[in-house]
C-alpha cells in the first residue's frame, strides 16, 4: 500500500495532525510524490499495489474530514486509472476516531461515520466510473481507550497559595501525553467514600519536571490525602504503549479485571530490570 497525504488538517492538536503536507508521514498528493510512488510500484513486476492508505490525525470528532479524504483519495485513484488502467482494490482511511476523556467532551459518532463514509465512497466512485474498493478503518484508540483505567497512589498534598498540588506515584514515565499535547483527564478518588466538598486541584507526577502535570484543574474531594488511590479513566490506548523509563522510574504493571477476578498481564518493572542492561558494573 502507499501512505498518501491528502492535505487535510484534522485532529485535536497540531502535533497529532498527520494528514497535512509538510510533515514526516506519508507521500503528498500536492507535490506529486504519491503519484510517483504508485508509478514506481507498478514498474516493479515483483510488487503488487494492494491499495491506498491515509491517516488524517488523532482525536477527530467530526465526520467531515473523512468525507473530504474520500473525495481526494478517489480522485487520486481515478487519475491512476486513467494513466495505468488500474484501480487499487483497497482504501484504508486510517483511524483517529475521537473519544471522550472527560464527561461532556465530544466523541466521534461511529454510526454516522460509517453511513456517511460508505455513501460518499459509493457516490465518488460512481462519478469517476470506478468500482468501489474494499473500505478499511483502524479503530485503535476508540476500542482500546475506554477499556483501560490507570491507577495512581497519592504521595503528598501541597498547598501553594490558591493552588493545591496532589502528587502521585506516576506521571511522565507512564503518560507523557498531557505534557506533549495537552490531553486532559478526569481523575477520581476510589477506595473510600469522602464526605468532603469537591475542590479544584492539580494532579502532578513524581518526576523532576515542572511540566509533569497529569491533570490540571481536576475536581477531587478536599480531604484527599497521601495513601489515597486515584483512578484515571480512558487509559487503555496509550499508557502502556507510551510508557518509558523516564527518570529511571520503572514502568507499571498491567492487570486484567473481569467479574471480580484479576489477572496479571504485564509485571511491574523493577530496579533490577532497569540495571540489568548495565555492563560496566
Beta-ladder partners of 232: 150
Residues 6 or more apart from 268 whose CB is under 8 A from it? 250, 251, 252, 253
Grid cell locating 267: 509485571
H-run or E-run covering 53: strand 52-53
Residues 6 or more apart from 32 whose CB is under 8 A from it? none
Q: Which of 70, 58, 75 is nearest to 138 (CA)?
A: 58
H-run or E-run covering 118: helix 110-128
Q: Please tell me what DSSP assigns to residue 28.
A: E
172: left (phi over 0), alpha (psi -120 to 50) or beta: alpha
Catalytic residues: 208
Amino acid at each position: 500500500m502507499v501512505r498518501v497525504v491528502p492535505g487535510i488538517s484534522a485532529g485535536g492538536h497540531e502535533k497529532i495532525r498527520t494528514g497535512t503536507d509538510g510533515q514526516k508521514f506519508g507521500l503528498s498528493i500536492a507535490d506529486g510524490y504519491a503519484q510517483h510512488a504508485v508509478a514506481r510500484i507498478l514498474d516493479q513486476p515483483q510488487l503488487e499495489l494492494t491499495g491506498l492508505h491515509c491517516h488524517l490525525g488523532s482525536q477527530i470528532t467530526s465526520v467531515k474530514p473523512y468525507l473530504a479524504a474520500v473525495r481526494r483519495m478517489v480522485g487520486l485513484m481515478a487519475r491512476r486509472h486513467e494513466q495505468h488502467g488500474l484501480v487499487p482494490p483497497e482504501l484504508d482511511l486510517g483511524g483517529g476516531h475521537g473519544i471522550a476523556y472527560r464527561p461532556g467532551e465530544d466523541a466521534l459518532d461511529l454510526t454516522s461515520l460509517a453511513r456517511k463514509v460508505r455513501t460518499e465512497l459509493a457516490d465518488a466512485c460512481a462519478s469517476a466510473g470506478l468500482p468501489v474498493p474494499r473500505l478499511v478503518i483502524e479503530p485503535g484508540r476508540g476500542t482500546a481507550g475506554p477499556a483501560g483505567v490507570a491507577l495512581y497512589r497519592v504521595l503528598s498534598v501541597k498547598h501553594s497559595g490558591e493552588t493545591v498540588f496532589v502528587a502521585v506515584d506516576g506521571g511522565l514515565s507512564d503518560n507523557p501525553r498531557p505534557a506533549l499535547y495537552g490531553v486532559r483527564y478526569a481523575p477520581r478518588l476510589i477506595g473510600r467514600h469522602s464526605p468532603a466538598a469537591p475542590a479544584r486541584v492539580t494532579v502532578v507526577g513524581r518526576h523532576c519536571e515542572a511540566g509533569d502535570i497529569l491533570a490540571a484543574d481536576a475536581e477531587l474531594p478536599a480531604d484527599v490525602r497521601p495513601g489515597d488511590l486515584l483512578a484515571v479513566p480512558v487509559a487503555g490506548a496509550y499508557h502502556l504503549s507510551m510508557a518509558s523509563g523516564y527518570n529511571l522510574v520503572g514502568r507499571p504493571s498491567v492487570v486484567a479485571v473481569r467479574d471480580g477476578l484479576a489477572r496479571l498481564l504485564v509485571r511491574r518493572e523493577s530496579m533490577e530490570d532497569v540495571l540489568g542492561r548495565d555492563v560496566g558494573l
